[in-house]
Every structure is written in C-alpha cells, then in structure tokens.
Structure 1
Amino acid sequence: MWPIVWTAARTYAPYITFPVALVVGTVGYNLEWFIRGTPKSREEEKGILELREERKLQEQAGIDSTKVLSLKEKMEFAPKAALNRNRPEKS
C-alpha cells in the first residue's frame, strides 16, 4: 500500500505543494504586514541617495562654505604615494 501512496505523492507533488506554498506565503505576507504596519507605497519611500543628500545638506547648514582649505594646505597632509616610499628624498 505504501508504494502506491508514495508513487501518487511523487506524481501529484506539484498539485499538493502549490496550494500549501500559496497558503504559507499568504499567511507570511499578512503576518509581516501586521507586524510592520501599513505598507508604504514606492513613491513615499526615499532612496538611499536622496537620504544621503538630505543628511549632507543638514550637515552643511551650520558650516560657512566660503572658508575652504587651499590646495597647498590639503597637499601637506596627503600621504606620499606608495611607489615613492622607498626612493630617497630629493633635496
């Protein structure tokens, strides 16, 4: 009797597993919706780049943007190139 049951289950597996997967997926989707709250639409969500730009603008709000370091001041703190580390310094 068991070989007949296993053969039938193997033959009709898609017809058995699809409804089970559908029920599990629906329950999981509704449970996630219940835990998270109302889902936001795609238009309401802000992208990572938009959030980053807003954060940068908020950081820049209190800083005077006219006072910047000159290129020479920036170069003093720049590390030397990796290829020039073993070469003797020029006088």
Structure 2
Amino acid sequence: MWPVFWMSMRTYAPYITFPVAFVVGAVGYHLEGFIRGDTTPKPGEEKSIVELREERKLEEGAGRDSTQVLSLKEKLEFTPRAALDRNRPEKS
C-alpha cells in the first residue's frame, strides 16, 4: 500500500502543493500587512511624475506676477556665449 501512496503523491504533487502554497502565501501577505500597519500608498494611488511637476510649478508661480516676464533680449544675455554668439556681430 505504501508504494502506491508514494507513487500517487509523486505524480500529483504539483496539483496539491500549488494551491496550498498559494493560500499560505496570500494569508501570510495579508497578515504581514495587518501586523505591520501597512501605510505605504498603493500603486494606483501614487501621483505621477507629471502631476507632481505640475503641482510644483503651480506652487512656484503662485507668488510671482505672471505679467512680468523677461524679454527675449534679456534672456539671450544669460545664455552661454559659445552656443549662440557664433554668428552674431560683436556688441560695442
């Protein structure tokens, strides 16, 4: 009788062990989260990088007057000489 039992266990082991391992793993996962007090945000609840950038830009621009901007000439003064001053005539 024992050889038949061991032969059946060897043959059907994947069909028995997978559901048992799945249940034990799921219970352990949820039990660990319950004990630890899982406070990490879920993947679906995190803000995307684009949303974080938009919020940061809104916060930065909240204290500034949006009508006071630099002219194009003033912006060109602060650019590196090597890139933009190659074909421009020298200033006097």
Separation of aligned partners in 2, 1:14 and 1:70: 73
CA RMSD, aligned part only? Answer: 3.5
- Corresponding residue number in structure 2 for 1:77: 78
Q: Distance in 2 between matches of 1:10 and 1:59?
A: 66
- Please report how far the alpha carbon of residue 33 of structure 1 lies from its aligned counterpart in structure 2 after TM superposition: 4.5
Instruction: Report sequence identity in percent.
Output: 35
Match of 1:63 in 2: 64
The number of equivalent residue pairs is 79
Gaps of 5+ in 1: 82-88
- Relative to 1, partners in 2 of residues 1:19 and 1:76: Cα closer, same or farther, differing over 3 Å? same
Structure 1: distance between partners of 2:32 and 2:53: 31
TM-score between both structures, scaled by the size of structure 2: 0.54
Higher RCO structure, 1 or 2 (CA under 8 Å, sep 6+) = 1
TM-score (norm 1): 0.55
Following TM superposition, by how much is the alpha carbon of 1:50 offset from its aligned partner in structure 2, in angstroms? 3.1
